[in-house]
Amino acid sequence: MTDNVVMTAMNHSSERPKAANPVKIQDLSLRDGHQSLFATRGRTEDMIPVAEMMDEIGFWAVETWGGATFDTMHRFLNEDPWERLRTLKRYFKKTPFSMLLRAQNLVGYRNYADDVATAFVDRTAENGMDIFRTFDALNDYRNFETVVRQIKKSGKHFQGCICYSLTEPWLGGEVYNLDYYVAKARELEAMGADSICVKDMAGLIAPYDAYTLVKALKAAVKAPIHLHSHFTSGMAQMSQLKAIEAGVDILDTCMTPYAFRTSHPAIEPLAMALLGTNRDTGFDIRKLATINGVLEKQVMPKYKHLLDDSKVSIIDINVLLHQTPGGMLSNLVNQLREMGALDKIGNVLKELPRVRKELGQVPLVTPTSQIVGVQTVNNVLYDTPDERYKMITAHVKDLCYGLYGKTAIPIDPEVQKKALKGYPRGEEPITCRPAEVLEPELEKAKKEIGDLAADLDDLLIYAIYPVTGKKFLEWKYGRAEAPASVKAITLEDVKKQDMLVKKAKAGELVEKKADAPAKSDRLRTFNVFVDNEYFTVEVDPTGDAPVIVAAAPVAVPAVAATATAPKAAAPAAAPKAAAPAADVGGTKLAAPMPGLVIRYLKNVGDKVTKGEAVVVLEAMKMENALVAPCDGAIKAIGFKSGDTVAKGATLLVIG
């Protein structure tokens, strides 16, 4: 069969001929679409109205799960991730489900033990998953071994990914060249891949590189070739077309409201572009339009406030300039803003390629993009002229130890040695498959969580996300009340908000009394958080109704901004700024950044030495082991596991 795309429709015929080799389409709206544009906040109830219609389109698959969904659902939406699969499966009767699986990282940010990985894949298949799109951030396929064994055992489709990465502005250079990708595809085929996906998470792939790559892969392996390319840089539609000309089998798209920006090309223009050719998708464009109509009217109003509308451009040319993935860049900006160091962004972008190379020229994808990004920020903020890598994150230490796998080139020996000094697992890095050094985790997790986990699905939520997973299970079984921040907003709420905005614009929102009473000493100030705005409200009790004397929106504090920023892992609740520990005398350990307290490694009364790790704080999805600033005994502890803290909060006091 020729690769050329040719017109098969007869000019005088009104009949649409069936294409000889239709391009197969996977729809990503229900996973990557809302993950890319709406901070993964899509709720199951908002997928149901279009599910049956989408099932009629003829998609090769719909992506419904994986990536950040598992995390966001239990943490921010109070939704059981397993339940979503079972619910959607009742509406999608024909179209297979696909998920994004981070190989041995599953749906989390570290390698889990083999027992957790096997149980997770088994339960995912049982709950309705059909296609397991599997990737490893380092393209180290030893991290595939355990999950692939179970995918095959469950009789499901194993799609192997090659993370697309570059060091130059084009396909080539020392590491990420054609030979590299062909070799990776052959490895995947040897592992039994049912299809092979080029995963271009950053929108790096240029149209003619896509052509060259797909041609080479089609010649090298038998498995169908699937291209996943984000729109971020603006090249994806062109790359899709060139990939089609090179004979690509499957492409990823989104329904229009979930498309473009950092998401994916839309399906409708592609379907029209291929109409009447031998690669025609065969999709009914009117059915697609009907689905978009429902989404626009019934669903998108609830999410549009999450869209990053801070700039007018829908493309981000940073990728074209310096190969920094869009999502990673916005994370860096958020992190710097939180630390009050946004002016350092230029230094960070300059330092980034150097840190990446020193850490083994890893592809930049979750979690390596965060690992490299956060470390780069740390270097820019804390390094001194005579010492680099002063504050090394726990994840960089794990990477240097080999816990993520083999990097594309060896890690800089000096950086590696410094990172592994005093590393608990040992100072000598491993070279084996990472999970081989991990102790089984499920039994331990079961003992810890007890009967709060009613079944294996619950247990896996806890095993993968111990802190937020436990919180979720407490909400699920009524042992704790879920906060208002995790509740869904309704169309009614949206209407009310729109009305308020209209009134505010017309100057009718606040009725000011000309003769406001003097403020008494009983006046109390409240911060009211509404999405990414916050209002300071002063309430003065008068005996009858409280008089609101001020309701002016003020500049958004960094912490509140990140709670709704796309892809940021900031806490949803207003952070606690002051803790009782702040009043205790002694040397204070302050939070260097806002974050989530994972655990204290010491108790009150414990002796500590300067430089010893005392508390683990999660910020920007990275765990940071914070060390004692001096010798002494712990006099006070400010928070507990699961608390969110503001920058500068007193975590503990040493005396």
CB atoms within 10 A of CB 156: 20
- Range 561-620, binding Co ion (CB under 5 A): none
Q: How far is the CB of 625 from Co ion (least distance, A)?
A: 30
Cα separation, 534 vs 554, whole angstroms: 6
Which letter does DSSP use for residue 641 in this model? T
Please report whether residue 114 would count as binding Co ion according to CB under 5 A: no
Please report whether residue 32 would count as binding Co ion according to CB under 5 A: yes
Q: How far is the CB of 32 from Co ion (least distance, A)?
A: 4
Cα separation, 562 vs 569, whole angstroms: 8
The site map against Co ion for 519-558 (x = CB under 5 A) is ----------------------------------------
Q: How far is the CB of 593 from Co ion (least distance, A)?
A: 27
> What φ, ψ does residue 114 adopt, rounded to 5°?
-60, -35
Cβ neighbours for 155, distance < 8 A, ≥ 6 positions apart: 125
> What φ, ψ does residue 182 adopt, rounded to 5°?
-65, -40
- The pairing of beta strand 524-530 with beta strand 97-101: unpaired
Q: Would you say 201 or 204 has its CB closer to Co ion?
A: 201
Q: Would you say 62 or 113 has its CB closer to Co ion?
A: 62
Q: Would you say 44 or 263 has its CB closer to Co ion?
A: 263
Q: How far is the CB of 366 from Co ion (least distance, A)?
A: 9
Please report whether residue 71 would count as binding Co ion according to CB under 5 A: no
- Range 327-356, binding Co ion (CB under 5 A): none
Take residue 483 and report the two structure tokens written for it: 């906060």
Q: Would you say 63 or 618 has its CB closer to Co ion?
A: 63
Stretch that binds Co ion, among 56-64, 194-202, 488-496, 546-554 (CB under 5 A): 194-202
Nearest residue to Co ion by CB is: 32
What does each C-alpha distance from 486 to 18, 73, 303, 478, 483 come to in angstroms? Answer: 47, 9, 14, 15, 6
Cα separation, 39 vs 557, whole angstroms: 19
> What φ, ψ does residue 568 adopt, rounded to 5°?
-75, 145
Q: Would you say 201 or 467 has its CB closer to Co ion?
A: 201
The two most distant CA atoms of the chain are separated, in Å, by: 89
Take residue 309 and report the two structure tokens written for it: 């509308």
Stretch that binds Co ion, among 29-37, 284-292, 450-458, 615-623 (CB under 5 A): 29-37
**Count of residues of this chain found to bind Co ion when the rule CB under 5 A is applied:** 2
Q: How far is the CB of 228 from Co ion (least distance, A)?
A: 6
- Range 195-224, binding Co ion (CB under 5 A): 201
| Tokens 């100072």 -> residue | 427
Q: Would you say 262 or 416 has its CB closer to Co ion?
A: 262
- Residue 389: left (phi > 0), alpha (psi -120 to 50), or beta? left
Q: Would you say 201 or 581 has its CB closer to Co ion?
A: 201
Stretch that binds Co ion, among 77-85, 193-201, 361-369, 494-502 (CB under 5 A): 193-201
Inter-residue contact 121 to 150 (CB < 8 Å): yes
Q: Would you say 135 or 389 has its CB closer to Co ion?
A: 135
Cβ neighbours for 443, distance < 8 A, ≥ 6 positions apart: none
Q: How far is the CB of 510 from Co ion (least distance, A)?
A: 44
Q: How far is the CB of 324 from Co ion (least distance, A)?
A: 16
Q: Would you say 263 or 335 has its CB closer to Co ion?
A: 263
Long-range contacts of the stretch 287-290 (C-beta < 8 A, 24+): 287/53, 287/56, 287/57, 288/57, 288/255, 290/53
Q: Which residues bind Co ion (CB under 5 A)?
A: 32, 201
